[in-house]
Structure formats: C-alpha cells, structure tokens
Amino acid sequence: MDLSHLMKGIEMFKVEGGLTSEVSSLCYNSKNCHENSLFVAISGLKSDGHDYIPEAIARGARFIVHEKEFSWGQILNLSPTVTAIKVADSRRALGMLAKNFYRHPSSHLLLIGVTGTNGKTTVTYLLEAIFRAAGFSVGVLGTVNYRFKGKVLAASNTTPESFEMQRILREMVNDGVTHAVVEVSSHAVDLKRADDCAFDLGIFTNLSPEHLDYHKTMENYFQAKKRFFEEVLPAGGKEHRMIVNIDDPWGQRLLKEVAMASLTFGMENECDVTVEEFNLSLEGIKATIRTDEAVFTVSSPLLGRFNLYNILAATAGAVSLHIPERCIRSGIESFKNVPGRLEAIGKSGQPRVFVDYAHTSDALKKVLENLSELKKGKIITVFGCGGDRDRGKRPLMGEVATTFSDLAVLTSDNPRTEDPLVIIREIEMGIHADSIRRYLPDDLDKDIPEKGYLVIPDRRTAIEKAISLAGNSDIILIAGKGHEDYQVIGDQRFPFDDREVVREVINRLWTDQHRMENSKSPLAPLSQRGDGGIFRNPRFPILAGHEILKATGGTLIRGSADRMFHGVSTDSRDMSEGNLFVPLKGERFDGHDFLGVAVRGGAVGLLVQRDAVDNADNEEFKDIAVIRVDDTLRALGDIAHLWRKRFHAPVIAITGSSGKTTTKEMTAHIAGLTRKVIKTEGNFNNLIGLPLTIFQINDQHEVVILEMGTNTPGEIGRLTRIAAPDIGLITNIGPAHLDGLGSLDAIREEKGDLFQNMAGEGIAIINRDDGEVGVLDGRWQGRRITFGMSRDADVSAGNIITRREQGVIFTLKIGGIGQEITMATVGLHNIYNALAAAAVCHVLGMEHHIICRGLTTFKPLSGRMEVHRLRNGAFLIDDTYNANPASVREALKTLKDLKEGHESTVIMADMLELGERVEEMHEGIGSLMAQTGVGAIFLRGRFSWAVAEGAIRGGMPINRILLPEISEEIVTRLKSSLKKGDWVLVKGSRKMRMEEVVQEIIRVFGLQPNTSGR
C-alpha cells in the first residue's frame, strides 16, 4: 500500500525522506519487521519502541513513525533510504495506520462494544448466541478468546491492540461475518486501541473498584469508561446508541453526562428492559422479561442475580437492534455457560464446585451473594490475588471472602514477580480477626466448627483441601482465574487450569453417589503427606534477583535484577521450573560443571563463583539471570538467612556432642502436638543442609527446629548467624570430632559459638550437670533456662525407676510442678534428652501436661538405643546411628543397668574423627567395657587392637575378645552363647555400617511379635 494513502488522516509534524513508496507491512514490534515494513515506535508501559528503531531498520524496515526526537544522521548511517515521520502520538497513529492498511473493516460490520467492570464476557457470549439464533454470522473479541467462523485465536488482551484489532476485523469481513461483539476494557480505551473502530452500539454493565493500580482513582476509571461513549462511539460516524445499567450508580451518572440515544435495563429502577418475576436456583434462572415491545419468559442454566443482569443487558442490546423476541429467547436458552464464569464442575451427589473469574472485591461479593441465596449447606471459597496488580483490593477481597463464606482458603493466584506470601498477608489485613478464626490446615478434618479461613499458598493443595472438607450439600467456589489454563510465576507461565485440577481431585476423592469410605478426611495431614504438600515445595523460597544481590553482595553479570526465583536447588538433577541453581564445589565434584543441565531442567538463574564465570558465558544462558559471588556455599547461607528473617515463628537451634538428634526429635514431637513444626531431617545439619531446611519454611510453620553439627572450627558460628535462632540448646560437650577440632577445649569453644552468635534477646537452654557447658553459661549474659538432675534446675527429673527394656519412669519437674511420666526410651542419657526437650517446649509456652504427654508418647528412634527382643528371649540394642566416646560410655552404662545379672555382649566398630587421641580413646572404651562387666566383645575396624588392649588392661580375659571379619561370623558365635535374658549392644560410627550386623542378627534370630521398638 502506498505510504501517502496509509498516512491519510494522520497529522505529520516532520517528514524526513519521501512519501511515495510502497509499504509491505505494518509492525510495532521490531522483531516482526522485514523488507519495506513501516515500524511504529510506541512508548509502552515497560519498554520504549524508540529504543528498537535501529533493530527495525536492520531487519528491513524502511519507514519509521515516531513521536520522540532522535538522531536522523544516525538513522541515515544505518540506511540512507529510510523515511521518518514524526507524529504527536505514535499509539494513536498506529490505530489510524492499521485502519487504513486494512481498509476500515469495522465500517462493513455491525459492531457492538461491551464495557464495565463485571459481566462483559458473559454479555458477549449471550449476544453471540442471540445473533446466531437470528441467523447472523458472528465474531467475538474478548477475554476468553477471539473467535469467528470456526476459528479460535488465543486472546493476548481482553481488547486487542489497535493493529491486531483491525487485522482480525478484516479477517472477519473477508470470511463473511456480519455482526462482531467486542469486550472494551478501560485499558483499551485509555490506550486508544478501539479509537479507529466504527461502533453501532455500546453497552455499560457496571463499575466497581478494579484496575486502580493503573487508573489510581475511581473517577479516572469512570472517565476512561465514559470516554468510550462520549468520544469513541460518535467518532465512528455511524448511527449509534448506548445501553446502560440504570441500577448502577455510575450508570446513572453516565446517562446524565453523555447526551446520546439510550436504552436502559435493570431490576430496581424504572427502565426499558426489566423483569416482572424471576426464580433463582442451583439449576439456573427462570424469568419473565418485559421490554417496550414484548413480555416473554426465558429459562437459563446460568446462576445468580448478577447473571440475570447480564441477560437483561444482552436483551436490551438485541432489542435496540430490532432482533425478534423469539430469537432473543432462543439465544438465551441455548447458551449454557462461559468458560470459567461460575462454571460448574462435578456430578450429582458430589459437592457443587464452581470455577469463576471473579478477581475483584465487587465481583467476588456478587458471586458469593448469589451463591448464598442458593446454598443448602456451607460455602467454601478458594481465592488469591494477582501479583503486580492493584494492591488496594487485596484486603477488600479478604474481607468479602471471609464475610460471605463459611471457610475461605487463601492461596496463590498469578503471583507474577511478587512473593505469594506477601500477597496473602495483605489479603489477611482485611479479615476481621475478632470474629473470623484462622485455622491451620490440619485443624480441619470434615467439619468447619466456626467461620474461619486457612492459608495454603500452593493452589493445587488449597483446592484439594477445600474439596476434602465439603459435603454433598456444600458449595465450593474457586475464584480468580476462571478460564485461564496457566499460572504466572515470575515472568513465566506454567500450565495450571482450575477446572482440570478440580475434576482430577473430585473424581479421586468422591464416587458418583457418595464420598469415598473414610472416617477421616481423604487427605492425610499436610505435615504427614509423602509429597510434603506445601511443606516440601520445590518452588520455595520465592525471592527477587535484587534481593539475592543485596543478601550475597554478588554482581549481576547477565539478565535482570527483577527476575523472580521460585526455589533454590544445589542439585542439577533435581530442578523445578523457575529455580535458582547454586552450584557447590566439593573435593570430588564441582557443580559448575553442570550449569547447562540445571538450565535445561528449568533453572532461570545461576549463582556462580568468580572463578567459574567463563562456564556461564555462552549462548545457552542468554535468557538466564547470572549472579557472581566469591563463594557459592557462603552465598547459599546468606540467601537462607534472608528467607528465615521473613518469618516470625520461633527458631530453635540444637547442638552438642551427643543427643542432638534425639533431643530434636523429642522437641518436635512435643511441639507438634499443638503446633505446625518444621525440623531438620536426616543429616541436613551442616552448611548445606541447614539452608535447604530453612528454604522450606513458610507461613504455616509455628515452630522451626534446626539441628547443628560441626567438625570444623567456625561452623557452628556460621550456622547460628544463618539461622538467627531465638532459642539455643547445647545438649552436652564431650570428645567428638576431635579429628577436625583438635581438643576438648576447642570443642567447647566451637559449641559455645551458638550462644556467642545468638541475639541478646535470645534464650539459652543450659545443661546444669555438664561442666563444659557450665563454662559457657558463665559467659552468657541473656535469659537462660537450666535442666539437669539437680533440684534447683528449672527443669529436672526425680524418682527415676528403670523398667529394663520397657523404658523409664520419672517425675518431670518444671518450675516446681512435678508429674510422673513413663518413657519408652532406655538410659539416663535419654532422660537428659527429655529434660532438654521439655525445657525448650517450656520456653515455647507449652503447658506442663502437653509436654508430659509428648514425652510419654515419644517412640525411640531407629538406631539410637533401640531395643529389640529376639525370639530366643535375648535383647538386642541397636545404637548404630553413630558413635563417639561420650555416647559409647552412656550406652555401656545403660547396658550395665539393663542386664541385671544376665550376660552382655558388645559388638563395636571404630569411633571416627577423634584426631591424635584416637588410640587413647579407644583404649579407654575397652577398659570401661571390662569395668562395667561386659562378658564378651566383638571388634571391627582399624582401632580394634586399641579397644582390645584397653579391655585386657581392665581385666577382661583375652579369650572373650574376638575380631571377626564378617557379620556372619559374629552371628555364628552368638548362636552358641546367647541365651534368654542376655543383652547384645551394637555400636559404631556411621561410616562403619554396623546396622548391617543388626540386620543379620535379626534375620537369624528373629523378633518376638510386637516387641521391636516396644
């Protein structure tokens, strides 16, 4: 098309070059330009097209339309044949250029524009059905899609950009479409996308708070809507009319301020189209509609009063266009539903689940008010708020959802570049805490005792929980996303369709006629689920690039600082979409060798060390954010500290030479009786594992329990600074990890770094009976709680009675209040562990009887003084988890107490990491075996000779000391000597794999029924 024809009607302020050339295409994205294209440089909300003029020219564009000044000489250097045209408004010019390029397609269509906050989509679907019933060929442009003549195009915006609008309207005309219906958003009016379309009719549905992040005020929002009727409709040059909801206050104002032929609809005020009577039910709408020309009855499967308003709007539009009453009725009754607009999911006998697009407080209120009129049971609402959108509506939606629902489940919507937890907290600000109860997910099984809400950030888990709580007379509303089949996290779209999730879950949890047989909820408690629910979410933590940069002191060498990361992984084989990959360097591996694997697995960010930058400097990472730091391991801890500080749940740090894990598990068991707990799992107690544990913390957690291990000076201090604990516990201090720490004094100082690095307002838990801990106590200036056997300890034990393999009975005293309890664990050391756990839980404010119940119901951990009764009546103590001199001594003392005149055998392997004193300490253990009356010992490992030497010096006959090479040899000898009532203790460091010996003994001897672990 000739350039001069294209520019018709457009005021040109400056022209550089000629106007007589042929233009091959229009484009406003430089990537779409080719030879002889005309490129329109638009100043957008996020980027400026003027910055891409050189790229457009490089791709072949010969004509440039712009509104900003730029160097013409520079353009001539790029291409001497380019024509540049300056206009007042490039965006406005794009619409006019597109209209000219596509030969004014809207002039050949009957074009209807529907605008308003709510109802636009449903009204367009209804009009489409009415026009089809009248025999017209219809096209629709709207939120769900763009469709005509069997073609369905994905909708990039509710209202297409002006160029796409004209192009699609031209396709409609060419395909024989006669009537087109367009959803006209306020953004589209403000950005002039519809200015060059000739509309025949404009419909106003309503106005309520929405898009105020863009418009700032309701007045601005109204003015945008008003501009469509006041300017855009008349500019088309056709005979035009407006249809207005007279029951809406903004509609009443529109009628007063815009002088135009109009038709009104409503139910509460005198108007042109209304209802004489109606009935609303879960089966749909039945209404008698009155117009100036007819009275007729319609039945529709659509639900609720607001959909009756939509039916009236479409009817008024059709009446104004002289569509016969029979066609109006037929169209309304033939239309079933809009995808994602109160779309019903499920079958008879199941809860009524509705998926709806309501994402404003007003829309949500309207939906819930209408469902409240129809409900027979309870209403459960699942919803969230979109990120990077109007924040002012969040508390309003929280108030609406909790006011009109029996239970609201707050979850993620499209968080985009915001933290979903922050969005949820802003929603919570609108909830009336005095009358609305905040539940934890595991608080609710089948019943909802009182009005309340849950927070479950993971949307799928939230939907599952809602469905699991519903009865077949209840209504579940899944609000906010409607027809969307994706979730926007960061700057990426991930597949997620509320409707598909609901179908999958409801079919799994419900049969056709009744709920699956289960006296409890079909879902296990979230804290116990194998997949971890929201507590094992690989998409946590959620952090922005600029936060990572600030926390680590790193440098951004590629990508954007606004990039959102959803989850942190140190394993390239275990990546999820959106993760930040932190490659670590070990003695035998370097994670930087697997950067490509991580990116292909879904990583959108890399945190690399300065000496590994070259590995990330290639084309594969062009869309990846790359942050450079001095030390990735240290940076991992810095990021974990950043995440930990987002939460207010008390953090407990537990360290010590022995008993750490058992004390941690006891503490978690007690606290878990009334609170949501997250704790260190397995051996995640080091500089890698502790940060990875912290990354799993979320808003649901009420107590965080972190175990801290060490074998290197400075490790406890660093772990403490990462975790920032509120409560610190050192169980005891003894000779463990001497190989890395050197001496008992060094161990004490290393463990003492916990107290040294805690905040002054923290609380220290002090073992009164441990002299080394006592040295540290003297240095601690903050609050403290003591435990021990001494009566003046804050938490103490008295009246101890051992029950052999069945455990112990003792009186637990806390603050002078005593209660007798029975524990299933054996050994004095486990009473100390129990006292330490009780002290922590006392600081947490837990009641005495809850602490006692927790200790009474605690079960011994596998491999930690776990007693098995063999079929021949002998007892086997599995203490194979680990070994150091202190824990071996405690195990031998316990063995002496338990055997009560029977024979005892010890099967022991090396204690590792004991440094220069390793031989001396093994000799000492051998001597103690002889002193405590051990009848025979089987020894394995490099230092067996040292244990044997100590045992001989202690008086043990040499023929009672055996050094078998394999487990089978041990078992063979035991078979000839082990009798009823005898005891066997198996002990050794973790790396010695002594659990294999335990397994072989159990295999050969067998266990008495129901006795393993008591």
pLDDT in tens, 710-737: 988 999 999 999 999 999 999 999 887 6
Q: Quick one: average pLDDT of 462-480?
A: 93
Sorted by sequence, the CB contacts under 8 Å of residue 827 that are 6+ apart come out as 865, 890, 891, 893, 894, 897
Which tops the pLDDT comparison, 673 or 612?
Answer: 673
> pLDDT tens, 670-716?
999 989 899 999 889 999 999 999 999 987 789 999 999 998 899 99
Q: What is the pLDDT of residues 739-760, one digit of tens each?
A: 667 788 889 999 999 999 999 8
Q: At residue 115, does pLDDT exceed 90?
A: yes
Give the helix, strand, coil percentages of the chain, each rounded to 5: 40, 20, 40
Q: What is the mean pLDDT of residues 887-905?
A: 90
Look at the block and give the residue holding tokens 């609720």: 304
Once rounded to an integer, what is the mean pLDDT over residues 33-46?
91
Residue 48 predicted with pLDDT over 60: yes
Whether 581 and 631 share a structural domain = yes
pLDDT of residue 530: 30
Write down which residue in 507, 536, 565 finishes a domain. Answer: 536
Task: Look at 771 and 408; give whichever has higher pLDDT.
Answer: 408
* Residue 618 is assigned to a structural domain of this protein: yes
Token pair, residue 426, equals: 């802003």
Cα 174 to chain centroid distance, Å, stands at: 47
Q: Are residues 45 and 191 part of one domain?
A: no
Q: In this structure, are residues 580 and 564 in contact, taking their beta carbons and an 8 Å threshold? A: no
Contacts of 451 (CB under 8 A, 6+ apart): 402, 406, 407, 435, 436, 437
Place of tokens 């027979």: 376
Query: For residue 531, what are the contacts with CB-CB under 8 A and spacing of at least 6?
Result: none
Helix/strand/coil for 377: coil
The enclosing domain of 684 has a CATH number of 3.40.1190.10
Cα 434 to Cα 192, 400, 588: the distances in Å are: 47, 15, 58
DSSP per-residue codes, 797-817: EEEEEE-GGG-EEEEEEETTE
The pLDDT of residue 1010 is 61
Task: Please state whether the peptide bond connecting residue 495 to the residue before it is cis, i.e. omega within 30 degrees of 0.
Answer: no
pLDDT for 240: 95
For residues 783 and 674, state if they share a domain. yes
Residue 1010 lies in a domain: no
Q: At what angle do helices 218-227 and 249-257 cross, to 10 degrees?
A: 50
pLDDT in tens, 203-226: 999 998 877 778 889 999 999 999
118: pLDDT strictly greater than 50: yes
Please indicate, yes or no, whether residues 139 and 39 belong to a single structural domain of this protein: no
C-beta of residue 861 within 8 angstroms of C-beta of residue 1000: no
Residue 295: count other Cβ atoms within 10 Å of its Cβ.
10
Please report the pLDDT score of residue 1008 as a whole number.
86
Q: Which residues contact 431 (CB under 8 A, 6 or more apart)?
A: 395, 398, 399, 402, 438, 453
Shared-domain flag, residues 371 and 437: yes
- On whether both 629 and 730 belong to a single domain, the answer is no
Question: C-alpha distances in angstroms, 432 versus 50, 359, 699?
Answer: 49, 20, 19
Burial class for 939, CB neighbours closer than 10 Å (0-12, 13-18, 19+):
buried
Q: What is the CATH number of the domain that holds 604?
A: 3.40.1390.10
In a domain, 278, yes or no: no
The tokens describing 949, both together, are: 């030497």
Smallest Cα–Cα separation from 632: which of 572, 599, 590? 590
- Segment 623-634 shows an average pLDDT of 93
**pLDDT higher than threshold 90 for residue 456:** no
Domain assignment present for residue 295? The answer is: no
- Domain endpoint, select from 587, 606, 639: 639
**How many residues appear in the chain?**
1014
Which pLDDT tens digit goes with each residue over 272-324? 999 999 999 988 999 999 999 899 999 999 998 999 999 999 999 999 999 99
Could you tell me if residue 604 is inside a domain? yes
Q: What is the mean pLDDT of residues 168-174?
A: 97
Assess if residue 1014 is contained within a domain.
Answer: no
Segment of 18-27, 324-333, 594-603, 965-974 carrying the highest mean pLDDT: 324-333
Q: Do 262 and 243 meet the contact criterion of CB atoms below 8 Å apart? A: yes
| Kind of pairing between the strands at 817-823 and 808-814 | antiparallel
Same-domain pairing of 498 and 376: yes
593, 609, 639: which is the final residue of a domain? 639
Q: Which domain holds residue 452?
A: 343-516+525-536
What was the pLDDT predicted at 511?
53
pLDDT over 70 (residue 524): no
Statement to judge: residues 434 and 500 lie in one domain: yes
Structural domain contains residue 277: no
CATH number at residue 971: 3.90.190.20
Mapped onto helix, strand or coil, the DSSP state of residue 69 is coil
Residue 260: the pLDDT is 95
Pinpoint the alpha helices (H) of 565-604: 595-600
Percent of the chain with pLDDT over 70: 95
On average, the pLDDT of the chain sits at 90
Q: Is the pLDDT reported for residue 363 higher than 80?
A: yes
The answer to whether residue 286 is domain-embedded is no
pLDDT class of 46 with cuts at 50, 70, 90: confident
What whole-number distance in Å separates Cα of residue 453 and Cα of residue 393? Answer: 18
pLDDT digits (tens, 9 = 90+) for 842-853: 999 999 999 999
- State residue 517's pLDDT score: 40
Q: Output the pLDDT for position 103.
A: 95
Q: Is 700 in the same domain as 722?
A: yes
Total domain count, the chain: 6
Pair (461, 388) in one structural domain: yes
553 shares a domain with 493: no
Count of beta carbons in the 10 Å neighbourhood of residue 611: 11
Task: Report CA-CA distances (Å) from 297 to 276, 277, 329, 334, 540.
Answer: 10, 9, 8, 14, 54
Looking at the structure, tell me whether residues 234 and 313 fall in a common domain: yes
